[in-house]
């Protein structure tokens, strides 16, 4: 390890995927050091930096300057912010820019932004010239703890979210924890739902640590870095065990079946619900549903709800502003979700905090009665 990466405040999580192995660096000041970190690890000296209109005025200049200083020439692509950017139209724009900038296979696409920019530019990096290198500089909490790790990339189709894409692992992830200070509190909280998720999946001690330390995580500093590093480690472990989601990687979908149905029910209107908020409500529902199926004590669900509520996340369907469609419509959305096999539903259920498992034979009739109870 070189002198730069061993700076005390920086945490490194290694993702050991053989020839696709990479490091995730987590800590303050990483945008300013991005050029040096990239130049010391990757051969190429050309980059296309992709970002969005919110992030560009805040961090693009600093990133480009740092690349410049390290002798890396960069082209810039600034796209509109928001989920709609994960489209064919913007994919074409990014691919064209990458080719225009003469980014060769050893050069790289750099994603500077949240999960939208990461998913879209990772997809472009995966298909231009049959794959160029890819560096993630995630700037939202959600992207630092979730979407920048694991190599799932893609765009949305009119048939649903994330339906078109490739697996393309990044070569390096630089999670600069300072940039989270400009994230809205609501977006920070939404990302926090995914942090809590790792505890709920299989790390009960981490969940208990979050219950005790969440304020420090929100305030920044070393507790925040710890929580992000623990989350990246948790995700990396799952990805290494099952890179292409043939089995246990599905655990990362805890809370997401209900959450996605609620996102669809609100037409992806971020003024009503953002992804992490849907996941928060979805995780409470998954624990309550598990209790209803006599798999877990209802106390576990209450404890999950208490914590998520305390940090300010929505935990009930009634917390979503505006009218929700009836239980039957939510059920249709669940049935259309890709986790359905021959009539039976695949759900991530739990025996308690940190004891989740993949259940692939959940009767639809149980789900619909549960939804009717929760949303009469």
Ligand X SMILES: NC(=O)c1ccc[n+]([C@@H]2O[C@H](COP(=O)([O-])OP(=O)(O)OC[C@H]3O[C@@H](n4cnc5c(N)ncnc54)[C@H](O)[C@@H]3O)[C@@H](O)[C@H]2O)c1
Binding-site residue numbers for NAD(+) are 115-119, 139-140, 152, 161
> Min. distance of Cβ 60 from ligand X in angstroms?
12
| Max Cα distance, the chain (Å) | 61
The whole-angstrom separation of Cα 137 and Cα 177 is 11
> Min. distance of Cβ 104 from ligand X in angstroms?
25
> Min. distance of Cβ 206 from ligand X in angstroms?
19
DSSP 131-196: --EEEEEE-SHHIIIIITSS-B--EEETTEEEEE--B---SEEEEEGGGGGGS-HHHHHHHHHHHH
Residue 43 catalytic? no
Q: Which two tokens stand for residue 26?
A: 């987590």
Residue 245 catalytic? yes
Helix (H, G, I), strand (E, B) or coil at 207: helix
For the chain, the distance separating the N- and C-terminal CA atoms, rounded to the nearest angstrom, is: 58
* Active-site residue, from 54, 253, 287, 374: 253
Helix (H, G, I), strand (E, B) or coil at 349: strand
Q: 259 vs 282, 291, 296, 347, CA distance in Å?
A: 5, 18, 20, 12
Whichever of 52 and 76 has its CB closer to ligand X, that residue is 52
Whichever of 139 and 290 has its CB closer to ligand X, that residue is 139
Residue 256 catalytic? yes
The whole-angstrom separation of Cα 225 and Cα 103 is 33
C-alpha closest to that of 353 among 287, 254, 309, 294: 287
* Active-site residue, from 86, 90, 152, 307: 152
Residue 323 catalytic? no
Whichever of 275 and 287 has its CB closer to ligand X, that residue is 275
Residue 244 catalytic? no
Binding-site residues from annotation: 115-119, 139-140, 152, 161, 194, 256, 275
**Helices and strands per DSSP (H, E), number in the chain:** 13, 12
Place of tokens 């609100």: 266
The whole-angstrom separation of Cα 118 and Cα 172 is 12
* Active-site residue, from 76, 187, 194, 305: 194
Whose CB is nearest to ligand X? 115
Residue 159 catalytic? no
Residue 260 catalytic? yes
Helix (H, G, I), strand (E, B) or coil at 336: helix
Which residues are at the interface with ligand X (CB under 6 A)?
52, 54-55, 58, 81-83, 86, 113-117, 119, 139-140, 142-143, 146-147, 150, 152, 161-162, 179, 182-183, 187, 275
* Active-site residue, from 2, 43, 130, 246: 130
Whichever of 55 and 301 has its CB closer to ligand X, that residue is 55
> Min. distance of Cβ 242 from ligand X in angstroms?
13
* Active-site residue, from 256, 287, 307, 339: 256
> Min. distance of Cβ 165 from ligand X in angstroms?
8
Residue 374 catalytic? no
The whole-angstrom separation of Cα 175 and Cα 115 is 12
Residues known to be catalytic: 130, 152, 194, 235, 245, 249, 253, 256, 260, 275
């Amino acid at each position: 390890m070189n002198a730069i990466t061993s700076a005390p405040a920086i945490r490194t999580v290694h993702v050991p995927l053989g020839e696709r192995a990479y490091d995730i660096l987590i800590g303050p000041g990483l945008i300013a050091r991005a050029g040096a970190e990239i130049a010391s690890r990757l051969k190429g000296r050309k980059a296309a930096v992709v970002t969005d209109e919110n992030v560009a005025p805040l961090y693009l200049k600093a990133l480009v300057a740092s690349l410049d200083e390290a002798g890396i020439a960069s082209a810039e692509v600034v796209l509109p912010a928001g989920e709609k950017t994960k489209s064919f139209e913007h994919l074409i724009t990014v691919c064209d820019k990458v080719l225009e900038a003469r980014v060769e296979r050893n050069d790289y696409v750099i994603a500077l932004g949240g999960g939208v920019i990461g998913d879209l530019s990772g997809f472009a990096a995966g298909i231009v010239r049959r794959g160029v290198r890819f560096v993630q500089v995630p700037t939202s909490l959600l992207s630092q703890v979730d979407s920048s790790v694991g190599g799932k990339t893609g765009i949305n189709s009119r048939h649903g979210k994330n339906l078109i894409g490739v697996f393309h692992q990044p070569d390096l992830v630089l999670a600069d924890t300072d940039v989270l200070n400009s994230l809205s509190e609501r977006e920070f909280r939404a990302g926090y739902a995914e942090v809590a998720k790792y505890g709920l999946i299989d790390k009960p001690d981490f969940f208990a640590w979050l219950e005790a330390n969440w304020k420090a995580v929100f305030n920044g500093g070393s507790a925040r870095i710890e929580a992000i590093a623990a989350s990246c480690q948790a995700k990396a472990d799952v990805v290494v065990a099952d890179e292409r989601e043939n089995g246990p990687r599905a655990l990362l979908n805890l809370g997401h079946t209900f959450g996605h149905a609620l996102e669809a029910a609100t037409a992806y209107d971020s003024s009503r619900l953002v992804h992490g908020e849907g996941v928060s409500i979805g995780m409470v529902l998954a624990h309550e549903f598990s209790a209803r199926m006599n798999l877990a004590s209802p106390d576990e669900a209450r404890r999950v709800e208490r914590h998520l509520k305390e940090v300010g996340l929505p935990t009930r369907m009634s917390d979503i502003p505006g009218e929700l469609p009836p239980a039957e419509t939510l059920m249709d959305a669940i049935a259309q979700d890709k986790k359905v096999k021959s009539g039976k539903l695949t759900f991530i259920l739990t025996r308690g905090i940190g004891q989740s498992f993949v259940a692939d034979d959940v009767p639809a009739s149980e789900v619909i009665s549960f939804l009717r109870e929760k949303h009469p």
